Amino acid sequence: MHTVVVGTSGVTASDVLAVARGGARVELSVEAVAALGAAREIVDALAAKPDPVYGVSTGFGALATRHISQELRAQLQRNIVRSHAAGMGPRVEREVVRALMFLRLKTVCSGHTGVRPEVAQTMADLLNAGITPVVHEYGSLGCSGDLAPLSHCALTLMGEGDAEGPDGVVRPAGELLAAHGIVPVELREKEGLALLNGTDGMLGMLIMALADLDMLYKSADVTAALSLEALLGTDKVLAPELHAIRPHPGQGASAANMLAVLKGSGLTGHHQDDAPRVQDAYSVRCAPQVAGAGRDTMAHARLVAERELASAVDNPVVLPDGRVESNGNFHGAPVAYVLDFLAIAAADLASIAERRTDRLLDKNRSHGLPPFLADDAGVDSGLMIAQYTQAALVSEMKRLAVPASADSIPSSAMQEDHVSMGWSAARKLRTAVDNLTRVLAVELYAATRAIELREGLAPAPASQAVIDAVRSAGVQGPGPDRFLAPDLAAADAFVRGGELVAAAEKVTGPLQ
């Protein structure tokens, strides 16, 4: 099994995906263990002094003015975890929780948190045992860290609360730890606070969304090319020299992808009907501009994610010179903004895909295709309601595009009076990505059927490869009306699993 070694200088996005989705094992580097020990010595020295130090010998948040005596500090750390594990709502997905745990371990291993090496090792042991704390949908404002989600994870480290075992069964955490030979941790000064103060949940969801969107933007280039073919559009607008004079990188990449898919097509630009077009509609002609802008948004979001992966997010932090200083680095604004930005881009990509689908179904705009791509229009409804479903998905995505990060609700007796709502931005982006997959599946379903209805005209080799692959995957072609939901589900699985991109790339080579 693949192993990810966690050092002091952060991890990569591929490391996060390997642990969250691939079940990779986690090990602590020798360097990380040494840094953990050195930082802990600083915290222990401060804890022994009479002077109050935030997070070490004081309360938290609005209660930070109280000095906590030594005999109460272990109880203080236990209490912050128990009281902050106050999430509600549905369970968060296993991959999100594993990303959350791994990213908190990444910061702990930086040597800036003051957590003991044995606590970090227990965090790794939980991941390696496949034990996943039960984390709930609601409880983070994206500031002072993803507090409730991280608290539920810390609670499992203490052997309390509920967790899911590697068999998928939820049991008391203490039972699961005992079954895997893991000793629950007894938290000491600062450790409870250090386990809760991070942007780990929203960052993990950002990294996974970027991975999914990378595949979906390639998928959208393929479905847009198929729709262009089915509508007898022209590929001249995809010429590299046209995109070179407006040098947005994403736009150029999307146009190149579409052109690669359409190479050798017998349908593009040569078979206009009795109402010749000087230009194709915007949803066809401007596909690279819209998808390209989304790609450039992803590039910015990826830069933010890389910076956050290199960060040690905690409060207070242990500095190399021995100081323990309070800060505001836990504020989720940098991550929250790009999460919202990606939801906007995804909604627009879905919107333009839906417009192409609608054009394929409208006999007045499809240039010779039957109404709704029906076998016997009137007796058959064809794909009429598939477009309704697609439109409903797009409408929800537009609602999800309203930025969460523009909101703030004060908390902690006005001590935490401006928050990022980054966790909420991440949660709605996951739904948007899920919906985008379905929207592209409907366009794929409509475009492949439309191409097959263009009898006597040969599609591009890459297009034919996609059609052959999607039919082999159980998505049926033209014909009389049938129970449509299974076809759409199969098309969704085809896009979601990356098979659409893989089918095109067998002809085109790697898409950008």
Contacts 24+ apart (CB under 8 A), 174-182: 176/129, 176/131, 177/126, 177/131, 180/125, 180/129, 180/131, 182/122, 182/125, 182/126, 182/129, 182/131
pLDDT > 70 in the chain, percent: 98
DSSP class of residue 411? Answer: B
Q: Of the given ranges (14-18, 181-185, 454-458, 502-506), which has the lowest mean pLDDT?
A: 454-458
> What's at 65, amino acid-wise?
T
What is the pLDDT at residue 272? Answer: 57
Which distant-in-sequence residues (6+ apart) come within 8 Å of 439 by Cβ? 350, 353, 354, 390, 393, 394, 397
CA distance linking residue 356 with residue 242, whole number of Å: 22
DSSP class of residue 366? Answer: T
Terminal Cα-to-Cα distance of the chain (whole angstroms): 29
- Reduced to 3 states (helix: H, G, I; strand: E, B; else coil), residue 403 is coil
The tokens for 24 are 């990779």
What is the pLDDT at residue 412? Answer: 86
The tokens for 143 are 């500031």
Q: Given pLDDT bands bounded at 50, 70 and 90, which one contains residue 49? A: confident
What is the pLDDT at residue 84? Answer: 95
Q: Of the given ranges (6-15, 64-73, 81-90, 296-305), which has the lowest mean pLDDT?
A: 64-73
**Residue 236 reports pLDDT greater than 60:** yes
Give the tens place of pLDDT for each residue, 165-175.
999 999 999 99
Q: What angle do CA 427, 104, 338 make, to 5 degrees?
A: 40
Of the candidates 288, 349, 301, the residue with the CA atom closest to the CA atom of residue 511: 288
234 touches 280 (CB < 8 A): yes
The tokens for 493 are 């699985």
What is the pLDDT at residue 438? Answer: 98
pTM of the model: 0.95
Q: Given pLDDT bands bounded at 50, 70 and 90, which one contains residue 274? A: low
What is the pLDDT at residue 51? Answer: 79
Which positions are annotated as active-site residues? Answer: 54
Q: Of the given ranges (73-87, 365-379, 473-487, 490-504), which has the lowest mean pLDDT?
A: 73-87
What is the pLDDT at residue 271? Answer: 53
Give the tens place of pLDDT for each residue, 182-214.
999 999 999 998 999 899 999 999 999 999 999
Provide the mean pLDDT of the chain: 94
Q: Given pLDDT bands bounded at 50, 70 and 90, which one contains residue 58? A: confident
What is the pLDDT at residue 276? Answer: 63
Interval 311-339 mean pLDDT: 92
CB atoms within 10 A of CB 461: 17
**Residue 233 reports pLDDT greater than 70:** yes
Of the candidates 84, 82, 80, 56, the residue with the CA atom closest to the CA atom of residue 68: 56
CB atoms within 10 A of CB 55: 28
**Residue 273 reports pLDDT greater than 60:** no
Interval 349-365 mean pLDDT: 97
**Residue 263 reports pLDDT greater than 60:** yes
470 touches 500 (CB < 8 A): yes
Q: Given pLDDT bands bounded at 50, 70 and 90, which one contains residue 275? A: low
What is the pLDDT at residue 10? Answer: 85
CA distance linking residue 388 with residue 390, whole number of Å: 5
Which distant-in-sequence residues (6+ apart) come within 8 Å of 345 by Cβ? 293, 294, 297, 298
DSSP class of residue 97? Answer: H
Q: Given pLDDT bands bounded at 50, 70 and 90, which one contains residue 78? A: very high
* Percent helix, percent strand, percent coil in the chain, to nearest 5: 55, 5, 35
Interval 219-245 mean pLDDT: 97
84 touches 438 (CB < 8 A): no
What is the pLDDT at residue 260? Answer: 98
What is the pLDDT at residue 87? Answer: 97
Q: In which region does residue 18 sit, left (phi positive, over 0), alpha (psi from -120 to 50) or beta (all else)?
A: alpha
| SS3 assignment for 15-79 | HHHHHHCCCCEEEECHHHHHHHHHHHHHHHHHHCCCCCCCCCCECCHHHCCCECCHHHHHHHHHH
Provide the pairing of β-strand 3-6 with 162-164. unpaired
Q: Of the given ranges (150-164, 259-273, 356-370, 462-476), which has the lowest mean pLDDT?
A: 259-273
